[in-house]
Amino acid sequence: MRPPLVIGNWKMHRTASEALALSRSIRKGLSVARQVEVSLAPPFTALGTVRDIIKGSPILLAGQNVYWEPEGAYTGEISAKMLAEIGCAFIIVGHSERRRLFHESDEAIAKKISAALGAGLRPILCIGEAFPQRQKGLTNQVLARQLRRALKGLGKNAIRNIEIAYEPVWAIGTGRNATPDQVGDAHRLIRRTLGHLFDENRAEQTRILYGGSVRPDNAAELAAVDGVNGLLVGGASLKAPDFLRIIRCFIPARR
């Protein structure tokens, strides 16, 4: 399996000038690149700025969203080809905020994944359950359904170019935290489902990240959970010292 992957999702934060300073600080402080793969996902307007700062470093660029058509009259959208040309290696697809605020369906997410793969990008497929679904004991059904629908129709080898991010919606900005046991159970379910959809060997090689209010004070505990192959970090990635501290959590955890 590839090294653990830690992604900083800046969401709608940081102008281009602010992104310049932040990405420069992260690059300067990064000293564990061979043990951990690191990616930054700034807003679209800052992609070029961040690309120029991280050029020549081991940090990779990621987009936060993509549209499935290659081009056309789709005002405000951005294609996979555009993201690839500007230097993105990854693309976040199906984030809980996209599903909840912009009503993205599993079918739309599946189209985005296919478009991303066709452009040579590595999709990071986000899945997760809401609090009422967890309360009703539906977590496994929700995760399995989201995986099946988003990955439907892909060839057996496609999963080699995809990462999965488990982000329980109820643990994002709510003050609730997923326990290590809850995270471990979800990751095992995800890997079993991938084994059914593709095969066990490919499933074992797939990186499954955790994303849900990841902070410097809980990152080490999350990184130590069996089956967690990286972290999708939101607000804590907006401060270089915090983000670097999170990245470093994977060093003792993987010795």
Which distant-in-sequence residues (6+ apart) come within 8 Å of 108 by Cβ? 68
Which distant-in-sequence residues (6+ apart) come within 8 Å of 160 by Cβ? 202, 205, 206
3-state secondary structure of 227: coil
Instruction: Calculate the alpha carbon distances from 45 to 4, 8, 55, 101, 148 in Å.
Output: 28, 16, 17, 21, 33
Cα distance between residue 226 and residue 223, in whole Å? 8
- Active site members: 95, 167
3-state secondary structure of 185: helix
Q: For residue 154, which of 192, 198, 196 has the smallest C-alpha distance?
A: 198
